[in-house]
Amino acid sequence: MGFDALKKEVSQAYVVLTHGVPAEHVGGNAKPVKVPEKYFHDCYGVVIFVEHELALVVGAAYGSGLIIKKINKGTPQESWSAPVPFTITGAKVGASAGYAKSEFILFLTTPEQMASFEKHAQLDLTASATGTADADAQFTDGMAGRMDVEIAAGGVGESLKKGVLFGNSSGAMISAAVGTSVLVRDHEKTERAYGKGATAEKILNGEVGLDVAYADPTMAAVYNQMVYKKD
């Protein structure tokens, strides 16, 4: 099937980024949004996903998305990898009855976080605190809030420091302050998109998939929305 296997996730990423990138990167008529460009500049990787929540005392969450690595960070050859698809599931204790759809952009802030996903094909995420966007980026539209997220190596519990997550929710949901989600590589879609034997490590290090990813018009638009000023 080729790269079209990721059509849903790539189109979804484009929509999420349209809601959460600097206005000058999404067209002259775009409204200002809240995610500062510096996060794209400083990060080691970007995780873009949509999560749906259903709740009745204990909330269940499910969703899907893409993880993209910054290759050759800090060099003139710095660029984005091809995307790796994943699914995400989780629970929120104490949530009220309701439904919500949330868009998220998670910035991975250390090389260890990226390396862990490459090795284990999984990350465990725990929302630890809710805050606001930076003071120099207080706009009126776009991503609604910021959280610091504890990231642990998938399945082994090793803490990998915090990532920074921006989210925007819609729907009638009053959710709990504490929630945990597990992000796992979608093995089937990975192989359908890149071929049998394609691994997260090979894709995220630029060994597999770059040509087909950059040739796809929608994925090229996703990369364009993650433009930032290099050092």
Task: Give the per-residue pLDDT at 29.
Answer: 55
pLDDT tens digits for range 13-60: 999 888 775 555 445 555 545 578 889 999 999 999 887 766 544 456
Which are the contacts of 22, defined by CB distance < 8 A and separation ≥ 6?
Answer: 33, 35, 36, 37
Task: Give the per-residue pLDDT at 46.
Answer: 96
% of the chain at pLDDT higher than 90 = 39
pLDDT (average), residues 172-201: 79
pTM: 0.82
pLDDT band at 88 (very low <50, low <70, confident <90, very high): confident
> What's the burial of 132, exposed, middle or buried (CB within 10 Å: 0-12/13-18/19+)?
exposed
Task: Give the per-residue pLDDT at 96.
Answer: 44
**Residues 69-83: b if buried by 16+ CB within 10 A, e if exposed:** bbbeeeeeeeebbbb
Task: Count how many Cα atoms sit within 13 Å of the Cα of residue 142 in the half-sphere of its side chain.
Answer: 24
Q: Is the pLDDT of residue 4 over 90?
A: yes
pLDDT (average), residues 3-7: 96
Fill in the amino acid letter for 87.
Answer: T
pLDDT (average), residues 63-70: 94
SS3 percent helix, strand, coil of the chain, rounded to 5, is 30, 40, 30
Calpha distance 228→1 (Å, rounded): 32
Write down the mean pLDDT value for the chain: 78
74 φ, ψ (degrees, to nearest 5): 85, 5
Task: Give the per-residue pLDDT at 89.
Answer: 82
pLDDT band at 2 (very low <50, low <70, confident <90, very high): very high
Return the higher-pLDDT residue of 126 and 9.
9
CA distances from 89 to 42, 112, 185, 217 (A): 27, 22, 12, 29
pLDDT (average), residues 144-161: 68
pLDDT tens digits for range 103-152: 888 899 999 999 989 988 888 887 654 443 343 333 334 455 666 777 87
Of residues 20, 21, 80, the one with CA closest to residue 50: 20
